[in-house]
Amino acid sequence: MSESRAALRYAKAVLDLAVSEKSADAVESDMRSIVSTISDSKDLRNMLANPVVSGQTKKEALKLIFRDSNVITFGLIDTLTSNRRIPLLNEVALKYIILHEDLKGKGVAYVTTAVPLSGALEKKVLKQVAQLTGNEVAIENKIDESIIGGFILRVGDLQYDASISNKLNNLKREFTNSL
């Protein structure tokens, strides 16, 4: 089973439990905290991916870092640890956010740019994505200077890559294939 499918299954299970316990918003807040903390900390990412570090050590560290989290979030950490799937935590959190936003009738559009989006540009992107999806959308802007320019837009499972680096890679591939 692919890692993405496993993460989606865990996220769906957590969302079902959170909805039945009427704490889906609190769990979403925890998931956003998990995503931002893991993305901001290279040491935490390395620790979670390191097979030498025991699952119990990882679980204890995560419970300390996210000590103010909901009981359901702690249950997810316990389950992932006991199933030896704790490296999936970040992906499960991302999938949960997407599923919960969809449940609320909102979508999350991830826009990766080389520089931060201006307010006017963000409004244009919001308008276009809302027309395409038919849903109200929230934008999450990620900064990645390696794309050089342009943008990468991801809404749900759809991705549109209009980055300069992608176009350069396509040109390179065309030149290589024509030789």
Burial class (CB in 10 A: 0-12, 13-18, 19+), 29: middle
Whats the size of the chain, residue-wise? 179
Q: Per-residue pLDDT tens for 98-118? A: 888 878 877 778 889 999 888
Q: What is the pTM of this model?
A: 0.65
Which neighbouring-strand residues pair with 112?
142, 152
What are the structural domains, with CATH classification, of the chain?
3-101 (1.10.520.20), 106-178 (3.40.30)
Q: Per-residue pLDDT tens for 122-154? A: 888 888 888 877 777 878 888 888 899 989 988
Give yes or no for a contact between 26 and 96, defined as CB atoms under 8 angstroms apart.
Answer: no
Token pair in block for residue 174? 């065309």
Q: Per-residue pLDDT tens for 16-68? A: 999 999 999 999 999 999 988 988 888 998 999 899 999 899 999 999 999 99
Token pair in block for residue 127? 């308008």
